[in-house]
Amino acid sequence: MARTLKSTPRRDGFRMPAEFEPHAGTWMIWPERPDNWRLGAKPAQEAFTAVAAAIAASEPVTVGASAAQYENARAHLPAAVRVAELSSNDAWVRDTGPTGVIDAQGRVRGVDWMFNAWGGLDGGLYFPWDQDDLVARKVLEVEGLDRYRAPFVLEGGAIHVDGEGTLITTEECLLNPNRNPGLGREDVERNLRDYLGIERVIWLGRGVFNDETDGHVDNLCCFVRPGEVALTWCDDPADPQHEISRDALARLRAARDARGRRLLVHRIPQPGPLFMTAQEAAGVDRREGSRPRQAGDRMAGSYVNFYIANRRVVVPLLDPATDARALRILRRLFPGREVVGVPAREILLGGGNVHCITQQVPRGARLRVVARAGRRAA
């Protein structure tokens, strides 16, 4: 049985591995709420299915679906994808799922963060969020992994690590009083050290312009390997993203990682800018307590919101004018993986992208032994 531990990952010798370290698999959640996903979530379900299929070619994928949507999800998703009944308030498992941590012997555990729908009653995106707050615990139970329940609010999309002691995040999100009022920068850094086993935090300022998560770093900047990051970039000085990306670049260039290295920064052009059409906005149901969608809303589109699977990188396709250039750069950055694009505007319309709808489970030593034993037996 999966246990709930009273200690912290750091005290027990656990650390968060980087996304480019080996995975046992990936979790996703089937989208359905019509006040976030247009046309009863049908176009989003098609986009999520394409993401699940693209990842399943590289590693096991499990999709959580509500009881009401179980049969529909099962019918749409490829047979190789496992579907498990799972209640949730929406489909952002990066933020509601567990963050895997691993120790020197290859044991894997999970951190279950408190979740308040990106800001609770102070700017959060919907109410209630009680089922979302149970997702990490349920995923860990299914995976048979012990759990640390962190006593503070954090979303998985608000952090990226290099697996060698460095974490990047944004002030806009982690210092926002709507997450952990009363916690200052030092308190937040201590929490990150205790629950992720990291040594150094690199603080960026704001996230992508108009990102409704209060600036999650996973839409702005991520590690592609230790010592190297990808940063969303905009050359147009009249676009508010220009100054945000310039500030991030300056901070990244001034930073040293936990091993004392300077960072190599790869700029990835932003798509668009992209705006919601009147037809798209009209397809989203209105509901009190949920953020209304308006025609002309600028969306926080970014190619940096990709997912690194074991043998593939799954990249959102967002704009025919820039998709090919972004793919070209990412293919150069990931020579050992197949870089594949999936049409992702329908995911962006819901407020996030490929990285936000996926959550990896690290591969531990026990699973490696089982895999080897399996190969010998085959």
Positions in 199-218 near ligand KQY (CB under 6 A): 212-213, 216
Span from 9-17, 241-249, 275-283, 351-359 in contact with ligand KQY (CB under 6 A): 351-359
Which one of residues 351, 361, 362, 364 is an interface residue with ligand KQY (CB under 6 A)? 351
* C-beta separation of 25 from 59 below 8 A: yes
Q: How far is CA 238 from CA 273, 320, 321, in A?
A: 12, 22, 19
Span from 45-53, 56-64, 89-97, 271-279 in contact with ligand KQY (CB under 6 A): 89-97
Smallest distance, ligand KQY to C-beta of residue 215, A: 10
Smallest distance, ligand KQY to C-beta of residue 290, A: 8
Active site residue 234: no
Q: How far apart are CA 115 and CA 131, in angstroms?
A: 10
Q: Does 327 bind ligand KQY (CB under 6 A)?
A: no
Q: Does 44 bind ligand KQY (CB under 6 A)?
A: no
Q: Does 133 bind ligand KQY (CB under 6 A)?
A: no
Q: Show the DSSP H helices in the chain as ranges.
A: 42-56, 70-76, 93-96, 132-143, 171-174, 185-196, 240-254, 278-282, 323-333, 345-349, 365-377
Cβ proximity to ligand KQY: between 351 and 362 the closer is 351
Helix (H, G, I), strand (E, B) or coil at 171: helix
Q: Does 23 bind ligand KQY (CB under 6 A)?
A: no
Q: Does 350 bind ligand KQY (CB under 6 A)?
A: yes
Smallest distance, ligand KQY to C-beta of residue 356, A: 3
Q: Does 125 bind ligand KQY (CB under 6 A)?
A: yes
Smallest distance, ligand KQY to C-beta of residue 332, A: 26
Q: Does 276 bind ligand KQY (CB under 6 A)?
A: no
Q: Which residues contact 133 (CB under 8 A, 6 or more apart)?
A: 96, 114, 115, 116
One-letter-per-residue 3-state SS of 297-345: CEECCCCCCCEECCCEEEEEECCCCCHHHHHHHHHHHCCCCEEEEEECH
Q: How far apart are CA 8 and CA 149, in angstroms?
A: 9
Smallest distance, ligand KQY to C-beta of residue 218, A: 6
Q: How many residues does the chain have?
A: 378
Q: Does 51 bind ligand KQY (CB under 6 A)?
A: no
Q: Does 94 bind ligand KQY (CB under 6 A)?
A: yes
Q: Count Cβ atoms below 10 Å from residue 366 Cβ, excluding itself.
A: 14
Helix (H, G, I), strand (E, B) or coil at 97: coil
Q: Does 36 bind ligand KQY (CB under 6 A)?
A: yes
Q: Does 346 bind ligand KQY (CB under 6 A)?
A: no
Positions in 216-275 near ligand KQY (CB under 6 A): 216
b/e 28-40 (16+ beta carbons within 10 angstroms → b):
bbbbbbbbbbbbe
Considering the candidates 173, 221, 234, 356, report the single residue annotated as catalytic: 356
Q: How far apart are CA 101 and CA 272, in angstroms?
A: 36
Q: Does 95 bind ligand KQY (CB under 6 A)?
A: yes
Helix (H) or strand (E) holding 175: none
Cβ proximity to ligand KQY: between 355 and 363 the closer is 355
Closest CA to 231 of 264, 273, 192, 198: 264
Q: Does 164 bind ligand KQY (CB under 6 A)?
A: no
Q: Does 176 bind ligand KQY (CB under 6 A)?
A: no
Smallest distance, ligand KQY to C-beta of residue 3, A: 28
Smallest distance, ligand KQY to C-beta of residue 272, A: 17
Which residue numbers are catalytic? Answer: 356
Residues contributing to the site for ligand KQY (CB under 6 A): 36, 92, 94-95, 125, 157, 212-213, 216, 350-352, 356
